[in-house]
Amino acid sequence: MKRSIASVCLSGDLRQKLEAAAYAGFDGIEIFENDLMLFDESPAVVRRMSEDLGLRIIALQPFRDFECMPSDKMQKNFDRAERKFDLMEELHTDTLLICSNVSPQCIDSLDRAVEEFSELAERAQKRHYKLGYEALAWGRNIKDYEDAWQLVNRVDHKNLGIILDSFHIYARSKNLSVIRDIPGDRIALVQVADAPWLDMDVLQWSRHFRCFPGQGDLPMVDFMTEVTNTGYEGYFSHEIFNDEFRSSPCRPTAIDGMRSMLWLEEEVARAVPDLSSKTPKALDYLPPEPSVKSVEFIEFAAEGQSREELLDLLTKLGFTNTHRHRSKDVSLFRQGDVSIVVNEEPDSFAQNYYLMHGVSVCAVAYLADDAEGMAERSEHFGYRKFEGDIEHGEMNIPGAKGVGGELVYFVQRDADGSRFFDVDFVAVQPSDAAVSLSPKSDPSLLVDHITSGVSESEFLSTSLFYKVLFGLSIDQPQDLIDPYGIVVSRTATNRNKTIRLPFNMSRSWGASTERFREVQKGSGVQHIAFACDDILTFAEGIDLNIVLPVPDNYYDDLIARFDFDDGFVEQLRAYNILYDKSETGYFLHFYTRTVNGMFFEVVQRQKYSNYGEVNAQVRMAAQARMRRAL
């Protein structure tokens, strides 16, 4: 697949955009005319810059409001087109992108449009150029790709083709069946853009909320599959209008764009049988498929007093120090099937992470069917590989840099079922005093979900990370009400819900996510939830001083909203347990106090698949209240 990106996707001046696109590995670039207009070098210099970077300028865009204007304006439009052809000659590009007319003066006459595009195609042929016609979803008369194809097909000129843009097609809620009737050689260009489903004016939706495939909600693989089946052999090009992309460094954005392209290629290759018969540009390599199944362990970087605060909280939740690493200053705390690693090893990644963030989650390890395959997959998508120092006989755990810079490990169990701690750790016998002071361990405990707090600029990148590397499904964003702003949340999950990874961001400096990022000096894991079978019994056995207090007013409201007996509500009140109900079941949960901005949650699910979102505002208000009291 030939990969391109439009310059409008990236921030900076045209030189920076070209350099970023080349660095990310794109083959071509569409030059957005505004970028050229604002640049202080000639089109010939832009062409040489592109050539030096190994980029082909695949199109100049956009040429607006051409067809069906009043007669006295059409000659001016043809003159404008000739000037664009002159510009294309300087740029050494052969395709002009023409948008459907949005002018209120546009006359509704398909016959006139056919006549005018026939003449323009003849002029383009004399100059050895091609025209691509695209239906804008808010076009005056032509706003559907079916209508655009009807026009292009009636003109029937080899120098005029249709441009298929995924956003404009889906914005009109159109099915893809007409694409099957379009020969691949009549498609001038394919532009790919994803977006969240939003109920709003389509122009505003397009101008501010497009994103890379894999970051939104549009069925991009279906679109790509239909286009591939036409035999189209041209460029696939990102065309993204996004406020966050415009304000973020261009190189990371371009790299995410390439990851998105690679993911689309993989998905199409797996979806289209015998892809090589559809196009000679078929993939010669497919990365190993995602194979992560569950969370194997969570690793904390900790030292000194902050370590003691963390261990005190874990111990009071019932975790026991069960193992020590064979060669490193690393301890393992376990309860049920949850493994918490506390790393104090000098001159290690964990220590460097601690020096930057304080006590924090520096790594999360995922159980995978093919750990080396997951590492290979991460390299394929451009995520940095990590290899730690290991001693002879220790397990080699491949990894990559993840959200917020923490590590993501991939662990594969041996054929005999042995775990990572059976290889790298030595069991320790807890003291009698420690056993007598610890709550009773809950054998049912599992990792339920791990929530990260990220910046606004990282929000879409995090979606892409979980989508392309882990193969997780990404829920639509939802707003959580914080006393000091709005927190926007999405969740990445696998099919059987053994991996649940919410991630939150906020534009409000005082909201809980941004307060966490301020304390931690960056993004990372903010909140870890453990699932148990009986939360009331669990709560009975712990020190309630570690539990986040909930106002009495909350429980009075529960009584008003639900048909509870008084004894049950009083149990919830006594242990600061919150409640939510869905159509299929219910959810009980409580939160702990924070350590360096992080906190734990204990949950009990009963045929309930959400996260108690209605109670998030209770938690945020309580945390803000405790912070003010410090």
Q: Where are the domains of the chain?
A: 2-277, 292-437, 446-629
Q: Is 387 annotated as a binding residue?
A: no
> Poorest-confidence range of 395-409, 424-438, 547-561?
424-438
Taking the CA atoms of 602, 608, 609 and 615 in sequence, report the sign of the dihedral they define.
negative
Return the pLDDT at 440. Answer: 76
CA 509, CA 588: separation in Å to the nearest integer? 30
Residue 277 has pLDDT above 70, yes or no: no
- Predicted local confidence at residue 429, as pLDDT: 83
All residues at 6 or more sequence positions from 157 whose CB lies less than 8 Å from its CB, including other chains: 117, 118, 121, 122, 125
Per residue in 304-355, pLDDT (tens digit) is 888 999 999 999 999 999 999 999 999 999 999 999 999 999 999 999 999 9
What does the alpha-carbon distance between residue 10 and residue 55 come to, in Å, rounded to a whole number?
A: 15
Residue-wise pLDDT for 103-139, tens only, equals 999 999 999 999 999 999 999 999 999 999 999 999 9
At residue 392, the pLDDT reads 54
State both tokens at 134: 């695209």
The amino acid present at 209, given as its one-letter code, is F
Is 165 annotated for ligand binding?
Answer: yes
Residues 480, 487: Cα–Cα separation, whole Å? 5
Q: What is the pLDDT of residue 350?
A: 94
Domain 2-277, CATH class in plain words: alpha beta
601 annotated among ligand-binding-site residues: yes
Cα–Cα nearest to 105, from 63, 152, 67: 67
The pLDDT of residue 416: 84
SS3 398: coil
* Separation of alpha carbons 15 and 25, rounded Å: 16
Q: Which of 6, 34, 2 is nearest to 18 (CA)?
A: 6
Is 168 annotated to bind a ligand? Reply is: no
> Mean pLDDT throughout 526-551?
96
Ranges of beta strands (E only) in 393-484 are 399-401, 407-411, 425-427, 446-453, 473-474, 478-482
* Structure confidence at residue 460 (pLDDT): 95
Reply yes or no on whether the pLDDT at 262 is more than 90.
yes
Checking phi first, is residue 77 left (phi over 0); if not, alpha (psi -120 to 50) or beta?
alpha
- Find all residues with CB under 8 Å of 181, minimum gap 6, and list them: 149
The annotation status of 296 as a binding-site residue, yes or no, is: no
pTM of the model: 0.92
Domains 292-437 and 446-629 share a fold: yes
380 is in an annotated binding site: no
Cβ contact 81:133 at 8 Å: no
The yes-or-no verdict on residue 546 having pLDDT over 60 is: yes
> Mind listing the pLDDT tens digit for each residue in 384-420?
888 766 665 567 789 998 888 899 999 998 888 889 9
More confident position, 284 or 240: 240
pLDDT of 283 above 90: no
Can you identify the CATH homologous superfamily of domain 292-437?
2,3-Dihydroxybiphenyl 1,2-Dioxygenase, domain 1 (3.10.180.10)
Q: What is the largest CA-CA distance in the chain?
A: 96
Which CATH fold topology does 446-629 show?
2,3-Dihydroxybiphenyl 1,2-Dioxygenase; domain 1 (3.10.180)
Q: What is the pLDDT of residue 279?
A: 52
134 among annotated binding-site residues? yes
Q: What is the pLDDT of residue 304?
A: 85
pLDDT value at position 305? 87
Any bridge partners for residue 29, and if so which?
5, 57
Computed on alpha carbons and rounded to an integer, the radius of gyration of the chain in Å comes to 28
Residue 399: what residue type?
Answer: G
280, pLDDT greater than 60: no
CA distance 224 to 211: 16
Going by pLDDT thresholds of 50, 70 and 90, the confidence category of residue 437 is low
Q: What is the pLDDT of residues 451-499, one digit of tens each?
A: 999 999 999 999 999 999 999 999 989 999 999 999 999 999 999 999 9
Q: Any idea which of 20-29, 104-113, 263-272, 392-401 has the lowest mean pLDDT? A: 392-401
Helices 616-629, 512-520: inter-axial angle, 10-degree rounding: 50
Query: What is the average pLDDT across 602-624?
Result: 95
| pLDDT for position 432 | 54
* Residues shown for the chain: 630
Tokens 């099957």, residue located: 180
